[in-house]
Amino acid sequence: MTIYNFSAGPAVLPKAVLEKAQSELLDYKGSGMSVMELSHRSSWFEAIIQDAEQLLRELMAIPDHYQVLFLQGGASLQFTMVPMNLAQGKKALYVNTGSWSKKAISGAKALGVEVEVIASSEDKQFTYIPELPETIDQEAAYVHITTNNTIEGTAFAKIPDCGAVPIVADMSSNILANDYKVEDFGLIYAGAQKNIGPAGLTVVIVREDLLGQTEIAAPMLDYKLQADNHSLYNTPPTFAIYIAKLVFEWVKEQGGVAGITEQDRVKAGRLYQAIEESGLFQSPVEKDSRSLTNVPFITGDAELDKQFNAEALAAGFENLKGHRSVGGMRASLYNAFPIEGVDALIAFMKKFEQDNGGK
């Protein structure tokens, strides 16, 4: 049975990347050592982390005045690091578009930072991306947005204009799968375990003028210290960085971010169309706000959703169940997810609809 893994993260990786990692797992390029056994101060590993950074810079067209950091702790640690580094003594503005935005907001509040939620889609269960107010307080430290909402299946189609106030973005679930411009952000962060690599690595891209604004009481949480040490202040998650490097190489082979995003559009487009044409399944998300990478759908009947999930799982469709906070189904279609899996899911949905009194 072919397994299709719709996990929201940790998620499917390119098969070519896994095969490459497998082939050199005991002996990296004739070194006689596994990548996991390489000293982080060795020239072997230095080449890996430098290549990873260079490839990401190329893929995302990251300007020179942005630093690229390879950190740990996931987006959840960024919910603390962002306000700790950027908002001390200033107000931080947040856009509330779902579960992860709420965690970002509570992370800032826990630090005692003054938080203002300037837009929210909570009134309609986060089924759309709200407009930002026309006027943004230009004294604010930043405007925080979640570019793609993994659980709710919404995404910013375009990045708002906030004047001189830097936009800070949690891009965990659509990094390398969008046409945003890095220059439109002050800081971007992303947990690796969706479109980049294994869990345990967090990528931060930060504009240099935002670094070193304030003294940080915890060295590991200090962007400037991490930047000054090129992510080698202490031992970084070396193997995860190596896998990320292989993924970046793979994305490049797919025609870069433009090429892979085009594939993502085709994949998501087919599934959204099937949902539109279905008499049974529907999307809970407003059309203009739909995510390319996380596609939730429902029948409107919780029992039928449960039945669908059980039958889908038995047929090899893994991790299709929606997040426990929203129910239903969710197909996460990250870059490495194969289009054959989308077609197989659509065929399965049609069959299920027929079997359950559909058209």
Asked whether residue 8 is marked as a ligand-binding residue, the answer is no
342, burial (CB in 10 Å: exposed 0-12, middle 13-18, buried 19+): buried
Asked whether residue 290 is marked as a ligand-binding residue, the answer is no
Given the complex with a copy of itself, which of 32 and 357 has the nearer CB atom?
Answer: 32
Asked whether residue 76 is marked as a ligand-binding residue, the answer is yes
Looking at 44, 90, 102, 194, which residue is catalytic? 194
Fill in the amino acid letter for 314: A
Given the complex with a copy of itself, which of 234 and 354 has the nearer CB atom?
Answer: 234
Residues counted in the chain: 359
Nearest to 62 by CA among 50, 53, 74: 53
List of E strands, the chain:
4-5, 66-71, 91-96, 114-120, 142-146, 148-149, 154-155, 167-170, 187-191, 202-207, 294-297, 317-318, 329-332
* Contact residues: a copy of itself, CB under 8 A: 1-3, 5, 7-13, 15, 18-19, 21-22, 25-26, 31-34, 36-40, 42, 72-77, 79-80, 84, 106-107, 110-112, 191, 193, 197-201, 217-221, 233-240, 243, 316, 318-319
Q: How far is the CB of 200 from a copy of itself (least distance, A)?
A: 3
Given the complex with a copy of itself, which of 23 and 135 has the nearer CB atom?
Answer: 23
Burial string for 274-299 (b: 16+ CB within 10 Å, else e) reads: bbeebebbebbbeeebbbbbbbbbbb
Active site residue 250: no
Cβ atoms of residues 94 and 115 within 8 Å? yes
Q: How far is the CB of 34 from a copy of itself (least distance, A)?
A: 5
Nearest to 327 by CA among 306, 352, 349: 306
Given the complex with a copy of itself, which of 14 and 284 has the nearer CB atom?
Answer: 14
Active site residue 343: no
Active site residue 44: no
* Residues tagged active-site: 100, 170, 194
Residue ranges of the annotated binding site for L-glutamate are 41
Residues at the binding site for pyridoxal 5'-phosphate are: 75-76, 100, 150, 170, 193, 234-235
Annotated binding site: 41, 75-76, 100, 150, 170, 193, 234-235
